[in-house]
Amino acid sequence: MMASIQQVVFPFIVCLLHGFLICQGAITGGMLYAKESESREVKELNGLWNFRADKSSARDEGFTQKWFMQSLAKTGAVIDMPVPCSYNDVTQDRTLRDFVGWAWYDKEFIAPNSWGSTLNRVFLRFESAHYNTVVWVNSKQVVTHEGGHLPFEAEVTSLLNYGQENRITVAVNNTLTPDTLPPGTVTHKSDTKRYPPGYYVQNLQMDFFNYAGIQRPVKLYTTPLVYIDDITINTTISGSTGIIDFSIAHISGAVNVTVELFDAANQLIAKYSGTKGKLTVKNAKFWWPYTMSDTPAYLYKMKVNVSSSGVHDIYRLPVGIRTVKTTDKQFLINGQPFYLHGVNKHEDADIRGKGLDLPLVIKDFSLLKWLGANGFRTSHYPYAEEIMDLCDKLGIVVIDESPGVGIKTLENFDNTSLAHHIEVMTEMWRRDKNRPSVVMWSVANEPNSKASVAGPYFKSVIAHVKSLDPTRPVTFTIADMPFPPQLDQAAQYVDVLCINTYYAWYSDPGHLEVITLQANNDLVEWHKEFNKPVIQSEYGADTIPGFHVDPPLMFTEEYQVEFLKNYHAAFDQLRKDFFVGELIWNFADFMTDQSVTRAVGNKKGVFTRQRQPKASAHLLRQRYQSLINDTLTNCNKHNNIVKSNTIL
């Protein structure tokens, strides 16, 4: 039977399409990053893949005609598509840019003959695909996954032809529904006098473009039959001593487990035998944000060796020893007050969409250091692991945010949404739990937290995150300001109040003179109500580069500069008390859905999409470098903190 359009567009609700299971199962096992070691090999499958969008009216032709049973090129016309990337902006085809539904990929590759040993396991790993994904290897379905931005994988050992060609086929559906993260809706237009038959529109509940496709690397990797499945570490500090609690999960029977810790010079400093224990480091060097020390972001190296009957699996990971804690007025890293001055970022702020682009990543980190930013929020989804690696290495603090943006309607708070939200937070924690740069989890951006259902919903989500990780604070960003804090149903459950406001932009547009007064009064009121530290997690004004008017008018560079100055005046009054951070919206201009309120995207960036500075970037750099000097001047000498005026 031909599937209905609703079955194809909403596969994660119906869960069954022509006999193919589409729904996501329970999370089991670990999600260690695929990296080479003495016992593991990695083969990247990035490059040009065959691609075609299923533009049939019901978007189901790929399933009804079983495109996965043969080379995609034999099913119809294909084009070359880079992987990783978002497919939307690659061609001149407007219908592909705005495409909603199933997009298909395939690629042929050689599985190394040496991998066919009976002592090996082989896994196929996707770092991210958006949004709902089905994967086949040599025409056999191997994995499905719901959600973008996070990795998923499957063992494919028995399905590969070693020393011969193999084929991977992938179907990715970018449709957003009330129960996805982010949520959305689909409107079907039935008036055939105004719309073609079967016409429908994807409605977004977030203010950024719905980029889609295989957006991060695809890899094959091997492990021995006896292998390390997961590693969990937590660190504490006692005086000058660092303590690393660890737990090793493995797949096999009886094994020997050895855990070794090396310093940055590769000198062995601690060793332990067993799957669970503690490594104690005397006179430890702690992981610090780079603005708090002249030797920041110190990383030890942990080597885990699991062996049985002569079979070994070895995995290495960096370890930063640090603690995070909040009080009613402070955010503490290693027991020292920390003031966050940074940015919000969008990894889709370029023609490459959300596809991982390492030159662009390095450029962005160069700009972060140029600004003097000491952290960012991953607005509004987890970023690639390569980006997180750099944060660990460079001492960039991260508020790790889920894709829970736009949770507004009653449907977005139902049990199906809640179950998926909890699953996504589990995936996020499983991937990023060992990272010293991650100092706080953000479960959502700008939900309708005034709704009565928001209280129990976020109580459940936050409690779940805390059950996974009792060592980090948890938050979400509060919006639809200004409104009295007494109306909020969910802020009581967070550890830090992250507040988004746009005075003199969305409220009182054009009236710069009200910003300092309103920001000061509102932030004080929120702190008094909940007695928790406050971060200004968003503030900003759209600015068209090159537009100049004096006196300032909205959308000009002069207006953005004056806008920021007025906010900063309030911040400088409040950071003497309970105010612990400021994050500009936004690092760079980025693409949004087409609308009458956006002129080719959101232009609140202090940099353009091409990464050129607006006048506001120079203002922000001056401020952040001044804050660095204040931090280093006022910071007490504590363990390994050294006063310095160096600007990195």
pTM for this predicted structure = 0.92
Domain final position from 299, 319, 339: 319
Residue 614 CA to residue 611 CA, distance in Å, equals 9
pLDDT at 238 over 90: yes
Residue 105 CA to residue 331 CA, distance in Å, equals 46
Is residue 203 a part of any domain in this protein? no
Mean of pLDDT values over 182-204: 91
Is residue 191 a part of any domain in this protein? no
Instruction: Of 255-259, 348-352, 593-597, give the lowest mean pLDDT range.
Output: 348-352
Mean of pLDDT values over 453-478: 98
Is residue 201 a part of any domain in this protein? no
Q: What CATH number does residue 23 fall under?
A: 2.60.120.260
Instruction: Tell me, yes or no, whether 419 and 274 share the same domain.
Output: no
Going by pLDDT thresholds of 50, 70 and 90, the confidence category of residue 593 is confident
Label residue 595 exposed, middle or buried (CB < 10 Å: 0-12, 13-18, 19+): exposed
Instruction: Of 198-212, 338-352, 565-579, 589-603, give the lowest mean pLDDT range.
Output: 338-352
Report pLDDT for 229.
94
Residue 256 CA to residue 440 CA, distance in Å, equals 35
Instruction: Of 111-125, 136-150, 593-607, give the lowest mean pLDDT range.
Output: 593-607
Report pLDDT for 63.
97
Q: Which of 258, 324, 320, 234 is nearest to 284 (CA)?
A: 320
Is residue 217 a part of any domain in this protein? yes
Mean of pLDDT values over 313-323: 97
Q: Which of 179, 207, 175 is nearest to 188 (CA)?
A: 175
Instruction: Tell me, yes or no, whether 163 and 255 share the same domain.
Output: no
Residue 253 CA to residue 540 CA, distance in Å, equals 56
Is residue 643 a part of any domain in this protein? no
Instruction: Of 116-120, 255-259, 436-440, give the lowest mean pLDDT range.
Output: 116-120
Q: Which residues are catalytic?
A: 446
Domain final position from 255, 289, 319: 319
pLDDT at 42 over 50: yes
In terms of residue numbers, what domain contains 487?
A: 324-634
pLDDT at 16 over 50: no
Residue length, the chain? 648
Q: Where do the H-state alpha helices sit in 102-148? A: none
Strand partners, 545: none
Instruction: Tell me, yes or no, whether 365 and 470 share the same domain.
Output: yes
pLDDT at 639 over 50: no
Residue given tokens 């008018």 in the structure block? 553
Q: Are 302 and 296 in contact (CB under 8 A)?
A: no
Residue given tokens 């090396």 in the structure block? 262
Is residue 269 a part of any domain in this protein? yes
Instruction: Tell me, yes or no, whether 388 and 519 share the same domain.
Output: yes
Report pLDDT for 591.
81
pLDDT at 256 over 70: yes
Residue given tokens 């084009």 in the structure block? 79
Is residue 387 a part of any domain in this protein? yes
Mean of pLDDT values over 479-493: 91
Structure tokens at 495: 């550890």
Going by pLDDT thresholds of 50, 70 and 90, the confidence category of residue 637 is very low
Q: What CATH number does residue 628 fall under?
A: 3.20.20.80
Instruction: Tell me, yes or no, whether 217 and 257 share the same domain.
Output: no
Instruction: Tell me, yes or no, whether 440 and 332 share the same domain.
Output: yes
Report pLDDT for 15.
36
Instruction: Tell me, yes or no, whether 366 and 346 share the same domain.
Output: yes
Is residue 187 a part of any domain in this protein? no
pLDDT for 355-405, tens place per residue?
A: 688 888 999 999 999 999 999 999 989 999 999 999 999 999 999 999 999
Q: What CATH number does residue 249 fall under?
A: 2.60.40.10
Mean of pLDDT values over 171-192: 94
Q: Which of 381, 402, 395, 379 is nearest to 318 (CA)?
A: 395
Label residue 246 exposed, middle or buried (CB < 10 Å: 0-12, 13-18, 19+): buried
Instruction: Tell me, yes or no, whether 339 and 473 share the same domain.
Output: yes
pLDDT at 427 over 70: yes
Instruction: Tell me, yes or no, whether 141 and 262 share the same domain.
Output: no
Instruction: Tell me, yes or no, whether 521 and 496 share the same domain.
Output: yes
Domain final position from 286, 319, 352: 319
Q: Could you tell me the end-to-end alpha-carbon distance of the chain, in angstroms, rounded to an integer?
A: 63
Report pLDDT for 253.
73
pLDDT at 633 over 70: no
DSSP sequence for 552-569:
--TBSHHHHHHHHHHHHH
More confident residue, 52 or 591: 52
- Report the domain count for the chain: 3
- The arrangement of strands across the sheet holding 311-319 comes to 268-273, 256-262, 300-308, 311-319
Going by pLDDT thresholds of 50, 70 and 90, the confidence category of residue 644 is very low
Q: Which residues contact 39 (CB under 8 A, 6 or more apart)?
A: 223, 224, 227, 312, 313, 314
Instruction: Tell me, yes or no, whether 344 and 289 share the same domain.
Output: no
Mean of pLDDT values over 146-161: 95
Instruction: Of 452-466, 480-494, 513-527, 594-608, give the lowest mean pLDDT range.
Output: 594-608
Mean of pLDDT values over 171-188: 94
Report pLDDT for 553.
96
Instruction: Tell me, yes or no, whether 24 and 56 share the same domain.
Output: yes
The mean pLDDT of the chain is 90
Report pLDDT for 295.
66
pLDDT for 85-140, tens place per residue?
A: 999 989 999 999 999 999 999 999 999 999 998 888 999 999 999 999 999 999 99
Structure tokens at 13: 């609700």
More confident residue, 350 or 48: 48
- Which amino acid is located at 586 in the chain? N
